[in-house]
């Protein structure tokens, strides 16, 4: 059986959608499915040339599932993703069975009038993509997506897996003595970066004031660019700080498996947060903000949730997890149970095959 993952523009410097397709493809092999990744190279060829190429290539996809991978910026230079609809129209005209993977089922926010216009466009596009797809796949539980029609059989919830190799910790005990390592995986762009760093520095400062020796490791997207901001945020915090920037996936796994906790403060923790899934895959307890994880598989993982933007509660929770061996172990064991149940790539691939393999999938229209 052969499927196609249809991707838009490659994201720089890292592409989570490309990683998702690669890990999914490896897992699908065990289920007898070959997943071929194809890009609509509109940023290089222009929309006319890219869609013309898609028309030619899709002529050979009649008996294959095509998984259109949707993010707003993957299909638009400025966040107006009409190109995804154009691609879907071509696939429908070809009679191809098309499933849309909604990596972003909601608009991207912003305070300016252009952000509101962009958001309204994205809301319209995702609804049109949903209406035109044979099957719709979400990484959020469908009951948490308010715009979805109720009791609609084409929508299915399939959690994402980690975009790094899962790694079993060599020791189930937190580090001996008072040395604690706190991981921060990815930072937002400005202006949200300043808020995030202030909250991280305050929480880590609480750990230091409790008598523990803390070490903070920044890595991943946005951290290299934030080097000066990190130095400024931690200038008066007596902790060791390391900024590793972008790292290869196996190295990220190693670092997370050797850390004691992860801080996730890029807004309320939600099921599509890849950094959290990576921590779960490496059995690492997470301290994060509440508001979106409740009622999702994340709530069953080793996650300690505190009220959004409450830096005092964040510091208390982080200190407790790092100083209380039983609290740390409980979160660690929750990850051991949640990962193979919800987030392993084999489970993701199995659910994908169950959702698509038993569907007759004939394109409508």
The whole-angstrom separation of Cα 272 and Cα 7 is 18
Cis? peptide before 191, omega within 30° of 0? yes
Cα 59 from chain centroid (whole Å): 32
pLDDT by position in tens, the chain (length 365): 999 999 999 998 889 999 999 999 999 999 999 999 999 999 999 999 999 999 999 999 998 999 999 999 999 999 999 999 999 999 999 999 999 999 999 888 777 888 899 999 999 999 999 999 999 999 999 999 999 988 778 999 999 999 999 988 766 655 555 689 999 999 998 888 999 999 999 999 999 999 999 999 999 999 999 999 999 999 999 999 999 999 999 999 999 999 999 999 999 999 999 999 999 999 999 999 999 999 899 999 999 999 999 999 999 999 999 999 999 999 999 999 999 999 999 999 999 999 998 443 333 33
Q: Which CATH number fits domain 2-161+345-357: 3.30.572.10, 3.40.50.2000, 3.30.70.20, 3.40.50.2300?
A: 3.40.50.2000
pLDDT at 178: 67
CATH of domain 179-343: 3.40.50.2000
Domain segments of the chain as ranges: 2-161+345-357, 179-343
Q: Tell me the two tokens of residue 45.
A: 């060829």
The whole-angstrom separation of Cα 309 and Cα 305 is 11
Three-state DSSP at 222 gives: coil
Q: Tell me the two tokens of residue 71.
A: 């993010």
For 152, other C-beta atoms within 10 Å of its C-beta total: 10
**Residues 278, 295: contact at Cβ < 8 Å?**
no
The domains spanning 2-161+345-357 and 179-343 adopt the same CATH topology: yes
Phi and psi angles of residue 98, each rounded to the nearest 5 degrees, phi first: -120, 125
């Amino acid at each position: 059986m052969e499927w196609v993952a249809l991707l838009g523009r490659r994201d720089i410097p890292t592409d989570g959608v490309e990683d998702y397709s690669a890990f999914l493809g490896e897992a699908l092999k065990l289920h007898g499915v070959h997943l071929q990744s194809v890009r609509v190279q509109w940023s290089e060829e222009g929309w006319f040339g890219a869609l013309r190429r898609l028309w030619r290539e899709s002529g050979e996809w009649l008996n294959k599932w095509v998984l259109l991978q949707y993010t707003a910026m993957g299909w638009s230079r400025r966040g107006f993703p009409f190109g995804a609809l154009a691609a879907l129209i071509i696939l429908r005209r070809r009679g191809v069975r098309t499933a849309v993977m909604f990596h972003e089922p909601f608009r991207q926010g912003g305070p300016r009038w252009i952000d509101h216009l962009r958001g309204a466009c994205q809301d319209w596009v995702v609804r049109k993509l949903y209406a035109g797809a044979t099957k719709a796949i979400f990484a959020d539980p469908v009951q948490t997506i308010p715009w979805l029609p109720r009791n609609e059989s084409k929508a299915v919830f399939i959690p994402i897996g980690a975009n790094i190799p899962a790694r079993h910790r060599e020791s189930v005990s937190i580090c001996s003595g008072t040395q604690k390592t706190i991981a921060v995986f990815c930072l937002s762009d400005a202006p949200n970066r300043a808020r995030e760093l202030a909250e991280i520095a305050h929480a880590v400062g609480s750990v230091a004031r409790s008598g523990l020796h803390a070490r903070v490791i920044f890595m991943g997207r946005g951290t290299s660019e934030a080097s000066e901001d990190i130095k400024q945020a931690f200038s008066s915090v007596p902790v060791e700080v390391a900024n590793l920037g972008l790292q290869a996936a196996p190295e990220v796994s190693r670092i997370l498996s050797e850390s004691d906790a992860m801080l996730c403060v890029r807004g309320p923790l939600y099921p599509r947060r890849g950094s959290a899934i990576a921590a779960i895959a490496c059995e690492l307890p997470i301290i994060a903000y509440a508001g979106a994880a409740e009622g999702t598989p994340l709530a069953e993982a080793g996650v300690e949730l505190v009220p959004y933007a409450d830096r005092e509660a964040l510091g208390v929770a982080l200190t407790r997890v790092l100083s209380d061996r039983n609290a740390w172990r409980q979160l660690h064991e929750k990850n051991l149970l949640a990962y193979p149940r919800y987030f392993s790539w084999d489970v993701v691939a199995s659910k994908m095959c169950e959702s698509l393999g038993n569907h007759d999938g004939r394109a409508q229209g």
